[in-house]
Amino acid sequence: MSSYAVKRPLGRRLWIASACFLLWAPTAGTAAGTSLHRSLVQVLTTANPPDVRVPWRRTGPKSWTGSGVIIAGARILTAAHVVADQVMVEVRRAGNGRRYTATVEHVCHPCDLALLSVADGEFFKGSKALPIGHLPELQQPVEVHGFPEGGSGLAITSGIVSRIDVDYYGHTSYTRLLLVQVDAAVNSGNSGGPAVSDGKLVGIAISALEDAENIGYIVPAPIVRHFLNDVKDGRFDGFPDLGFWAQSLESPALRSKLGLKPDQGGLLVTAVTEEGSGHGVMQPGDVLLAINGIAIDADGSVEIADGVRVDGTFLEQRPQVGETLNLTLLRNGKVLERTVVMRTSEYLVPPGAFDRDLPYRIYAGLVFQPLTARYLFSSKGRQNWLRVYYLNPVMGGTTTRVPNRGIPGRREVVILTGVLTDELTRGYEDIKNTVILSIDGTVVRDLAHLSDLLDSGEGEFVTILTELGQEIVLERKAAEAAHAEILRRYQIPRDRADDLLLSAE
């Protein structure tokens, strides 16, 4: 499996320092007059991100720039993090100072891609759609085109493809997809710009390796094609997976016990999620030998090109949701051929919300939110135990589907993210950033369920139990009496997000 390395998206100050992670060294001949300049776009975003620490408010307007490229159908392809939480997006062509208002048509935060449209047809006059190529080869020369931060001029840098793997994307720090590493010098402001080889788009620049020089990452053409094909019906469905846990079979003794031949690889299936595509087809104890006829090695890798081996999860993500995969399984010494219809799995700890208000519930000064990767990675180390408990299986394993920790029916991890100081909450201030297990003895399934339990509870006390065994006890009548005054004092307009307001009606 790929080791986890810290990657940070380029081109927005919310995610990356203004200093370049990679040195910018334009190649000779850098100019807007390049043969590709008619395809290139600067993206100017004004955003108002939510404050994950104070979920009822926004952080305030922020502006940043990124890059994009015109593709077939009079559309602009860019990186999702360039337009995340946007309130207005403008674009301008390379060599043209006029700005045009753009609309975000589709966005995929897990694969860090977005499609923009421009209503004013004048914008596309004289433009040239850049054709989309295929997965580049190792050592293949590439050029990265983009607009450096702090200016409107086009920069072109060159390098080679140095690595192809399945790895984590920097935008959500959560999703593992096919990823290409290049040693072309890129810098802040390049996000969303095309990586080009032989006149075709082979990827979209998205991130750089932190504390390293000349290591950048692009979303490769196969992932770009998957995204574009997905949204053809006007809806983004996402990347499917089989929904199983597995163990590598590099141990000779384990391979012998399972009856594998010396030339056979495969993965030992250890569990299958009920929501996963493989449920009812795969069983614990099966050996997954091949997917669509492509053999899986004993370390879980597959060969996708000459000399290129990547994690086998790549094969699960190739089809669109609703399409099928053919599986070759070894079960009790017999080889079986099975077909599965692919669908996405639900996440107990999802990447997190973008482009909308954050869900929350406040009760007598206690602030509750769902646990998301976006929340965890915004904490700057203040919730390391939460990361270990809920994300380490993700970082070191084969899946982003975290099990429900033995709590039947739990669909969401709810955490106490803050305690507003009041006489009522005295002594509970240090319990924040803690997972909630139950309210008045009832196990919490999700944030909406927690809200219902607080609204409908009876009895003299409200008893909130955390997963660490801590108890928060409030006198119910005192809590209800103080609730409105606490909201007024902290200037909080309402005690819950809009979606919980609707569910309460």
Residue in this structure with the two tokens 């192809």, named with its chain if needed: 164
Residue 503 near residue 451 (C-beta atoms within 8 A): yes
How far is it, in rounded angstroms, from Cα 413 to Cα 371?
Answer: 5
Three-state secondary structure of 296-316? CCCCCEEEEECCEEEECHHHH
Residue 221 CB coordination number (10 Å): 22
Catalytic residue at 112? yes
Query: Which stretch of DSSP H or E encloses residue 67?
Result: strand 62-71
Catalytic residue among 39, 106, 112, 248: 112
Backbone Cα Rg of the chain: 25
How far is it, in rounded angstroms, from Cα 207 to Cα 190?
Answer: 9
Catalytic residue at 306? no
In this structure, which long-range contacts are made by residues 264-270, counting pairs with CB atoms below 8 Å and at least 24 apart in sequence? 264/289, 264/330, 265/289, 265/295, 265/296, 265/297, 265/298, 265/299, 266/290, 266/296, 266/298, 266/330, 267/296, 267/300, 267/312, 269/244, 269/245, 270/244, 270/245, 270/246
| CB proximity list for 33: less than 8 A, separation 6 or greater | 95
Q: Which of 100, 208, 84 is nearest to 144 (CA)?
A: 208
CA dihedral of 486, 490, 491, 496, whole degrees rounded to 10: -60
Catalytic residue among 191, 207, 248, 451: 191
Residue 357 CB coordination number (10 Å): 14
Residue 349 near residue 388 (C-beta atoms within 8 A): no
3-state helix, strand, coil in the chain (%, to 5): 20, 35, 45
SS3 76: strand
How far is it, in rounded angstroms, from Cα 214 to Cα 209?
Answer: 8
Q: Which of 157, 172, 239, 165 is nearest to 205 (CA)?
A: 157
Catalytic residue among 39, 67, 81, 495: 81
Catalytic residue at 109? no
CA dihedral of 398, 401, 406, 408, whole degrees rounded to 10: -150
Q: Which residues are catalytic?
A: 81, 112, 191
